[in-house]
């Protein structure tokens, strides 16, 4: 009997699987035992081939070569991880391996990771699938005892491959079209662009906001206070004169309590976390970025094994998980949750679990909850502990009883003016008390606080008369829309349907923009490409990002495209649509998008308030700060790509100056006492006096100089491309040449050609490498 090859997605997971499966023989890139051989990918080992692999002319970016629509997309081995690919390939070709277990992440992308490796290696033997939601030993053992047939996931693979193909056809073509058309490093995609558009639209709303004032009135009725409201329920008065007139009208008058409505209300616990909800709360409560939350969560899942699968879009569990809840609670014994958890184990938790246990609410994986692995908080970092406690508290809240409270709404009429107030009295704290019992702060339990009134034993009876006492008016300022934080942007991406008018498309956008697993990467990519920057907790689109949205095809700016795609991808995964039909439609769509970009007569003209003008082509230069805090200015014309940095260095000729303490001032002395050892005859204390050394202050003179990080391509070539006029040769310091260059660069009818190798635009990786190289050269000169 042959062995089974187990393919994990990451080395850390592979090592854990190998340990549980008793694969003790460790080799380079895999581990082997009597029954199993466990190996792993390094994320993706195979990707879709780059355009140049289909045709040599695609090495340079030319508008006339677009759209690129290969009949069939090929896969290629990723160079950086090719060594591990060949390890896996050799294992797949071993004669003693007779079946393969796909143990990559249980989802659409995890399926793609494994299937492309199998496709490249030509695997034709039996395929099984490991589908688990946690990395505990018991979960792994149970998963291998119930391996699923690989054929059950063929449609999931088809959907994953269709998604990858669609992103290639649209992303590659539109990115090249935008870059060539506007001579700028621009990229677009069906998730990235509408996400950026959400932020630029918000920025437009903020700039268009004119502001204003409104007034509110609050009256004291002896035992309680109430706010003035109009017939529609609004408390806002838009004119100060009207506010003053109402105050004069009711001051000292009697009013009548026209209604007293008492209602007992119930608030159920919040649902458990999916990834997006957790990222949102971690951003609000812990100031984590979405990417940071996912990275920390991955460690809790893979390394510590104390939470379930992270990349889930479900907030429910399935019935088979219910019997394991007691074990998950016992695992918290040595944590601040232990005492309450033990009470749950002894006396039980809420009996009505229908809201939490819902088979139909779980797709690939259930909600993020603690595992049965015993928790040792001492092994966790500060960030890991904070995030785990957020998950554990939510889990405890989900198992707790309802919050029950009583509200009393009182309406008073003074003459023909209407005043309302509401009192809220808790009857049973239920899940809202969980955070207090454990000594933590809940992300969900925002206590309802009334407007500040109290009854002070006043009998609130309909028909009773009350006298108006003090009345106060308050002027308030209308606020502009708030910029997005990562928390609010994640919410907007998740509920992108609210930005779509078509009711049918709203339903299709139920999953929102992107997936829980990709949203953090989308945000980070927008920041790395300088389309968005962080200002404190807010995400602010840059002028470059706003220009990209303005120039991108309208279809890409709207979430509707994603809605249509996700609807059809779900149909492919369910076996209701053929992958080939979807891909052909995507090709037609890519052709239309390229045509829209090429026919656009607009210009790429970002305005950077803190930027400067390029000395070679007179185009705008964007100001950016690298990870070391160094300021860079980057020319936005890709055909120029000049970049410089503001470098702080010691002035030539400056020397260190030594400042000695004034001899006339008393010297500082350090006095220490110690007792002579008992063997000493005297036993006296010896006083040790130490004089302080003179202070030395080093005074150095520094200056900020401009250092070239990337030379201008125009200067390097000394001319434009062959099809351009040779009379416009830009040279530093020649204003006329810069003007003529500027004219040609902004010509909307001009078609640019860019090498995919040399004209890929500015990256900080290049910047840092060049900077380090210069430092090494300077150090060598100093040593000489």
CA distance 729 to 574: 60
| 171 vs 586: CA distance, rounded Å | 11
Burial readout 698-718 (b: 16 or more C-beta within 10 A, e: otherwise): eeeeeeeeebebbebbbbeee
Q: Considering 169, 182, 309, 642, which one is annotated as catalytic?
A: 309
CA 674 to chain centre: 60
The Cα 198–Cα 557 span in angstroms is 9
Closest CA to 306 of 320, 316, 296: 296
Query: 478 near 213, Cβ under 8 Å?
Result: yes
Annotated active-site residue 36? The verdict is no
* Cα dihedral across residues 52, 56, 59, 60: positive or negative: negative
What is the C-alpha separation between 302 and 12, in angstroms, rounded?
A: 7
Residue 295, classed as helix, strand or coil, is helix
Query: Phi/psi of residue 545, each to 5°?
Result: -65, -40
Q: Which residues contact 666 (CB under 8 A, 6 or more apart)?
A: none
The pairing of strands 612-613 and 3-8 is unpaired
How many angstroms separate the CA atoms of 725 and 719, rounded? 9
Question: Within 13 Å of residue 306, how many CA atoms lie on the same side as its CB?
Answer: 25
Rounded Cα distance, 318 and 363, in Å: 10
614, two tokens: 């390029």
Q: Which two tokens stand for residue 363?
A: 């797709």
∠ Cα 499 502 505 (to 5°): 85
Instruction: Report the Cα–Cα distance between both ends of the chain, in Å, rounded.
Output: 68
Nearest Cα neighbor of 294 from 618, 524, 115, 10 is 524
Q: Where are the alpha helices (DSSP H) in 419-559?
A: 434-438, 486-494, 503-508, 519-528, 543-551, 554-557
- Between CA 605 and CA 544 the distance in angstroms is 9
d(CA 351, CA 330): 19
Token reading at 554:
């309208």
Torsion from C-alpha of 753, 756, 757, 763, nearest 10 degrees: 100
* Sheet strands side by side (includes 620-625): 612-613, 620-625, 631-635, 643-650, 702-710
Q: Is 618 helix (H, G, I), strand (E, B) or coil?
A: coil
- The answer to whether the bond into 67 is cis (omega within 30° of 0) is yes
Q: Which residues are catalytic?
A: 309
């Amino acid at each position: 009997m042959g062995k089974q090859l187990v393919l994990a997605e990451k080395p850390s997971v592979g090592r854990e699987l190998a340990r549980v499966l008793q694969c003790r023989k460790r080799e380079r890139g895999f581990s082997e035992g009597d029954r199993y051989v466990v190996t792993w990918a390094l994320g993706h080992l195979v990707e879709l081939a780059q355009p140049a692999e289909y045709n040599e002319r695609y090495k340079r970016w030319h508008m006339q070569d677009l759209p690129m629509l290969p009949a069939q997309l090929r896969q290629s081995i990723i160079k950086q991880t090719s060594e591990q690919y060949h390890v896996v390939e050799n294992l797949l070709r071993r004669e003693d391996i007779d079946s393969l277990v796909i143990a990559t992440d249980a989802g659409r992308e995890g399926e793609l990771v494994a299937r492309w490796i199998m496709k490249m290696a030509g695997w034709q033997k039996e395929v099984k699938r490991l589908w688990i939601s946690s990395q505990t030993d018991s979960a792994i053992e149970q998963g291998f005892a119930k391996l699923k047939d690989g054929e059950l996931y063929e449609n999931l693979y088809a959907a994953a491959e269709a998604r990858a193909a669609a992103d290639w056809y649209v992303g590659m073509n539109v990115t090249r079209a935008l870059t060539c058309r506007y001579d700028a490093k621009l990229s677009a995609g069906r998730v990235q662009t509408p996400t950026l558009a959400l932020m630029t639209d918000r920025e437009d709303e903020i700039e268009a906001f004119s502001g204003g004032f409104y007034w509110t009135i609050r009256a004291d009725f002896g035992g309680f206070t109430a706010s003035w409201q109009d017939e529609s329920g609004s408390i806002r008065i838009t004119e100060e004169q009207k506010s003053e007139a109402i105050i004069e009208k009711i001051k000292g008058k009697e009013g009548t309590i026209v209604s007293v409505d008492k209602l007992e209300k119930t608030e159920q616990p919040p649902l458990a976390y999916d990834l997006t909800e957790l990222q949102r709360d971690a951003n609000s409560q812990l100031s984590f970025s979405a990417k940071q939350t996912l990275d920390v969560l991955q460690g809790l899942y893979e390394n510590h094994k104390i939470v379930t699968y992270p990349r889930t879009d479900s907030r429910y569990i399935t019935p088979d998980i219910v019997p394991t809840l007691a074990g998950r609670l016992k695992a918290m014994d040595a944590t601040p949750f232990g005492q309450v958890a033990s009470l749950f184990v002894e006396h039980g938790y809420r009996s009505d679990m229908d809201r939490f246990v819902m088979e139909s609410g779980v797709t690939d994986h259930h909600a993020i909850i603690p595992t049965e692995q015993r928790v040792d908080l001492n092994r966790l970092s500060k960030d890991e502990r904070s995030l785990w406690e957020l998950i554990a508290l939510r889990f405890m809240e989900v198992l707790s009883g309802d919050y029950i409270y009583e509200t009393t709404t009182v309406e008073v009429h003074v003459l023909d003016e209407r005043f309302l107030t509401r009192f809220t009295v808790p009857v049973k704290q239920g899940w809202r008390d969980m955070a207090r019992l454990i000594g933590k702060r809940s992300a969900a339990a925002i206590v309802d606080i009334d407007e500040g009134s109290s009854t002070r034993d006043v009998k609130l009876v309909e028909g009773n008369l009350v006298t108006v006492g003090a009345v106060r008016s308050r002027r308030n300022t209308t606020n502009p829309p708030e910029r997005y934080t990562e928390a609010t942007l994640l919410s907007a991406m998740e509920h992108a349907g609210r930005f779509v008018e078509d009711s049918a498309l709203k339903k299709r956008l139920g999953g929102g923009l992107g997936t829980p697993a990709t949203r953090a990467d989308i945000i980070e990519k927008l920041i790395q490409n300088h389309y968005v920057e962080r200002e404190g907790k807010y995400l602010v689109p840059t002028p470059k990002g706003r220009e990209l949205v303005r120039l991108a095809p309208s279809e890409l700016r709207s979430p509707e495209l994603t809605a249509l795609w996700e609807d059809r991808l779900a149909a492919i995964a369910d076996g209701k649509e053929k992958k080939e039909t979807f891909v052909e439609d995507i090709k037609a769509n890519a052709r239309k998008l390229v045509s829209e970009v090429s026919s656009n007569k607009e210009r790429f003209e970002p305005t950077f308030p803190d930027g400067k003008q390029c000395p070679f082509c007179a185009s705008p230069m964007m100001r950016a700060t690298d990870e070391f805090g160094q300021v860079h200015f980057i020319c936005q014309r890709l055909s120029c790509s000049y970049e410089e940095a503001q470098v702080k260095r010691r002035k030539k000729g400056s020397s260190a100056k030594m400042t000695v303490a004034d001899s006339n001032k008393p010297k500082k002395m350090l006095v220490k006492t110690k007792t002579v050892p008992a063997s000493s005859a005297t036993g006296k204390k010896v006083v040790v006096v130490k004089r302080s050394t003179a202070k030395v202050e080093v005074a150095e003179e520094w200056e900020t100089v401009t250092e070239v990080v990337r030379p201008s391509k125009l200067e390097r070539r000394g001319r434009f491309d062959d099809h351009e006029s040779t009379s416009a040769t830009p040279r530093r310091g020649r204003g006329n040449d810069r003007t003529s260059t500027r004219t040609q660069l902004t010509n909307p009818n001009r078609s640019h050609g860019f090498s995919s190798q040399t004209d890929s635009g500015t990256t900080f990786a290049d910047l840092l490498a060049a900077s380090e190289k210069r430092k090494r050269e300077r150090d060598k000169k100093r040593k000489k």
